[in-house]
Amino acid sequence: GQQLNQSPQSMFIQEGEDVSMNCTSSSIFNTWLWYKQDPGEGPVLLIALYKAGELTSNGRLTAQFGITRKDSFLNISASIPSDVGIYFCAGQGAPGYSSASKIIFGSGTRLSIRP
């Protein structure tokens, strides 16, 4: 089945630093989604991407849908303490899946503040 590899698994940031993380797939995706999960909460959608090459921003967050349709990237500029949490990528497969069918989640990138 389809799998997503998300990296890095964890990272420590200093306030003000830029952050990059990525997700790669073993097969083509039609939709890429990026979620953030705060402790004790459910994931919240940050950015949705629908087209190869698409670059979309949401405040200090920017995400890109890779040209090959097998990867996506999320960048956070000038990080602040409230950026701490777990970031998940998710993808929805190529035609053949039903419209309400399976979105595959990566294993997450845990962002922490460097002491």
Partner 1 sequence: NAGVTQTPKFQVLKTGQSMTLQCAQDMNHNSMYWYRQDPGMGLRLIYYSASEGTTDKGEVPNGYNVSRLNKREFSLRLESAAPSQTSVYFCASSPAPGQGSDTQYFGPGTRLTVL
Contact flag: residue 4 with partner 1 (CB under 8 A):
yes
Under DSSP, is residue 83 helix (H, G, I), strand (E, B) or coil? Answer: helix
Determine which residue in the list 43, 64, 83, 85 makes contact with partner 1, applying CB under 8 A: 43
Contact flag: residue 99 with partner 1 (CB under 8 A):
yes
Determine which residue in the list 41, 59, 114, 115 makes contact with partner 1, applying CB under 8 A: 41
Pick the closest to residue 23 from 40, 42, 47, 39 (CA basis): 47
Residues 48-77 contacting partner 1, CB under 8 A: 48
CB nearer partner 1, residue 41 or residue 81: 41
CB 83, min distance to partner 1, A: 19
In a 13 Å sphere around the CA of 8, the CA atoms on its Cβ side amount to: 9
